[in-house]
A = this chain, B = another copy of it.
């Protein structure tokens, strides 16, 4: 029902390249700044990706959730840790986040299988 990680990443890369090909400076800098935001700093990358994930959940953006799920997975997030992030998202953002939680877990399971 959800996209597979492969489908998502192929589409994401293709369209990001298309956007950047337009040579709009603000957009290029915004994409670049977006990358820098999650770099190691006073907070470790794993924490920052968790912050990106919970923000994406409460703002209810499935593609952003998928992106940060992959990064969290790479950073070694465990499923019980993920459940605690999702429970905070649901409490703060309400039951309106439940459908996004279903799609998040479905994608997470695909990421776990892939490994």
Chain B residues whose CB sits within 8 angstroms of the CB of A103 once the complex forms: 15
* Dominant SS among interface residues on chain A: helix
Residues 19-33 of A at the B interface (beta carbon under 8 Å): 19, 22, 24-27, 29-31, 33
Interface size on A, residues (CB 8 A): 66
Instruction: Identify 22 residue pairs between A and B in the complex whose beta-carbon atoms are under 8 Å apart, listed by A's number.
Output: A15-B106, A22-B80, A24-B84, A24-B86, A34-B95, A37-B88, A37-B91, A38-B88, A43-B81, A43-B85, A48-B84, A51-B54, A51-B88, A52-B88, A54-B54, A55-B93, A56-B92, A58-B96, A59-B93, A91-B94, A93-B96, A94-B96
List 5 A-B pairs, minimum CB-CB distance, nearest first: A94-B94, A63-B99, A15-B102, A24-B83, A26-B87
